[in-house]
Amino acid sequence: MTETPARYKRVLLKVSGEALMGKGSFGIEPQIVEEIANDVALVSRSGVQVCLVIGGGNIFRGVAAAAKGMDRAQGDYAGMLATVINALMMQNALEKAGIDTRVMSAIQMSSIAEPYIRRRAVRHMEKGRVVIFAAGTGNPFFTTDTAAALRANEMECDVLLKGTQVDGVYSADPRRVPDAERYDELSYMDVLSRDLSVMDATAISLARENRLPIIVFNIHAPGAFASVMRGEGRFTRIIETA
């Protein structure tokens, strides 16, 4: 039986920092990183050009630190450094899986990552390398969701995928509200008007302005990324509706 081919040529996968914690409340669970890397490797080997943005909330959150009195800009810069740690962990796991990668940072740190240059990032992907974008946008007051939407547009990706802890977008957190409604498809305006906490409003607006489809799925389901690439499994699509 021939495997169904992927629907997309170039994609950006956004993985939250919390997704790397496993069952812990802080830090990184190496097995989880390895599982996600293996799924990304499977998609990359199928011929899809893949880039990633990984959050840093498993290590540090600038917003939470600001709420406790830390300067917001300083807190956000610390959060950007947390994303670099996660990016290096994912790079290591991907290279163990046999996938050539590049980490590109919005904040210059030439000893461990390349500076972000759009045309260079595109060239890396054209050569079959997985590119991991670290340090968000390089600016405070912007989340890694916004960084993901920005990079996906800059890379001219066909779709932005957000790997979460649940299998799509719900009216409330289904882990806390068992009867929360699950959506198969939403418009950008649905997400904004209903204040659905799938991505921040800036990221949704940026996707809407550029007609960038968003797919939300459970990153922890075995082979979920590869399944979504074939249009299979459970996920929510966020698109522009007529």
Please tell me the predicted confidence (pLDDT) of residue 226.
94
Say whether 76 counts as a known binding-site residue: yes
Q: Is the dihedral of CA 80, 84, 86, 87 positive or negative?
A: positive
Say whether 14 counts as a known binding-site residue: yes
Say whether 57 counts as a known binding-site residue: yes
Residue 139 has pLDDT above 60, yes or no: yes
Nearest CA to 101 among 113, 110, 109, 83? 113
Say whether 141 counts as a known binding-site residue: yes
Q: What's the half-sphere exposure (Cβ side, CA atoms, 13 Å) at 218?
A: 14
Say whether 144 counts as a known binding-site residue: yes
Say whether 56 counts as a known binding-site residue: yes
Please tell me the predicted confidence (pLDDT) of residue 67.
76
Distance, CA of 11 to CA of 124 (rounded, Å):
14
Say whether 139 counts as a known binding-site residue: yes
Say whether 83 counts as a known binding-site residue: no
Say whether 16 counts as a known binding-site residue: yes
Whether this prediction's pTM lies above 0.75 is answered by yes
Say whether 143 counts as a known binding-site residue: yes
Say whether 138 counts as a known binding-site residue: yes
pLDDT band at 5 (very low <50, low <70, confident <90, very high): low
The bridge status of strand 159-164 relative to strand 169-170 is unpaired
Domains of the chain: 10-239 (3.40.1160.10)
What's the whole-number mean pLDDT along residues 116-131? 98
Q: Is 29 buried (19+), middle (13-18) or exposed (0-12) by CB count in 10 A? A: middle
What's the whole-number mean pLDDT along residues 212-240? 94
Residue 25 has pLDDT above 80, yes or no: no
Residue 113 has pLDDT above 80, yes or no: yes
Say whether 15 counts as a known binding-site residue: yes
pLDDT band at 107 (very low <50, low <70, confident <90, very high): very high
Contacts of 134 (CB under 8 A, 6+ apart): 54, 80, 83, 84, 86, 87, 103, 104, 105, 106, 113
